[in-house]
Amino acid sequence: MNYISKEKIFITILTLAIVLLSGCSPKIIYENHYIDGQDHQFYYYSSESTHSMAESDSGYYFLGGQYLYFVDKANMTPVIVCNKPNCLHNEETDSTKTLYCNAFFEGAKSLFYYNNSLYISSTETTMTRESEFLKVSLDGTRRKTLFKFHGAISSAALHRGVLYYAAQVWDDKGQAIVSVSASKLNGKSKEIYKETFGHGNVNNIICY
């Protein structure tokens, strides 16, 4: 199968998945134009950058050096999203203490704002390459694991209540197994595309 055929299959499957999953959420608007607050903020996301950003009503959140920051629209001054009085945040030199900072997210890959919550994906830097998606409160005090899976996240998009993500694992022959899945925010996930490449990945997921 050539690459053009694979791209056509991928687009068809992704379109069908969007239609099928969208029918389960009557509160979401499904008009054929950009819906602020519901659609993927693609203009802030890049798979090539480790500094993911998301916009809320009052400001901007971004990831820098595995730490979460917030910039208020009123003063445009960045502050780290941790209110613990004795926490050194990004100045902590003891690696055993960094995990206790509310703003620290090891291996963070993507950041999204949706319905007054943040959604962050991360991939472990160990050989297991386990990944997870977290739901995080805007002040950073609460985080909940939505689901975990095996593989490294290469791209993701949160669009109209559905989380689309691409993951990559390697088989014993050294080939990349790439999959794209769609998940509701309650953690129910469905694989909608899977392919094996000598070398390949899904670098961007764009919803429109």
What does the pLDDT look like over 27-60, one tens digit per residue? 665 655 556 666 555 555 555 445 588 989 899 9
Q: What is the pLDDT of residue 177?
A: 87
DSSP class of residue 40 equals -
Q: Which is it for strands 130-136 and 189-197: parallel, antiparallel or unpaired?
A: unpaired
Give me the residues of the chain with pLDDT under 70, please: 1-51, 125-128, 187, 208
Give CA separation, 26 vs 17, 23, 115, 157, 160, in Å. 16, 7, 15, 20, 11
Rounded CA-CA distance 63/179 in Å is 25
CA-closest candidate to residue 89, choices 97, 78, 101: 101
Residues in the chain, total: 208
CA-closest candidate to residue 63, choices 122, 125, 130: 122
Both structure tokens of 170:
């390697």
Question: Which residue's entry shows tokens 């480790």?
Answer: 50
Indicate the burial class of 74 (C-beta count within 10 angstroms; 0-12, 13-18, 19 or more).
exposed
Q: What is the pLDDT of residue 40?
A: 57
Q: What is the pLDDT of residue 195?
A: 87
Q: What is the pLDDT of residue 185?
A: 85
Q: What is the pLDDT of residue 137?
A: 97
- Helix (H, G, I), strand (E, B), or coil: what is residue 87? coil
Q: What is the pLDDT of residue 34?
A: 55
Rounded CA-CA distance 134/120 in Å is 5
β-strand partners of 44: none
Q: What is the pLDDT of residue 9?
A: 39
Give CA separation, 105 vs 18, 57, 145, 152, 156, in Å. 29, 23, 12, 15, 17
